[in-house]
Amino acid sequence: MMTSIRTTKQLGDALRAARKQLSLTQPQLALAAGVGVRFIVDLEAGKPTLRLENVMRVIDVLGGTLQIIDLPSDTSKNFSRGK
């Protein structure tokens, strides 16, 4: 299933729903992903300052992937570098 995510809160909600669908507790998910339970709590709450590497590990453990769509392929046309 594809879910459009635009906020950290939406990401947290989607990951919580996936965890519950898999009948995992927060401690079980934390152990499987190699993160602390506090990280899972913060992630599911939509905390915006979490480490991306750990977020990716949680997504992987839940069986998901991260896809980025609709970005321009050549960002140098849209932004000036070094200015």
Domains of the chain: 8-61 (1.10.260.40)
Q: Model confidence over 5-31: pLDDT tens digits?
A: 999 999 999 999 999 999 999 999 999
Sign of the four-CA dihedral 66, 40, 11, 75? negative
Q: Name the residue among 40, 12, 47, 45 with its Cα closest to residue 26.
A: 40
Q: Which residues of 43-75 are buried (b: 16+ CB within 10 A; e: fewer)?
A: bbebeeebeeebbebbbebbeeeeeeeeeeeee
Q: Model confidence over 51-70: pLDDT tens digits?
A: 999 999 999 999 999 998 88
Confidence of residue 73 (pLDDT cuts 50, 70, 90): confident
Instruction: Read off the tokens for 6.
Output: 């635009």
Model's pTM, two decimal places?
A: 0.83
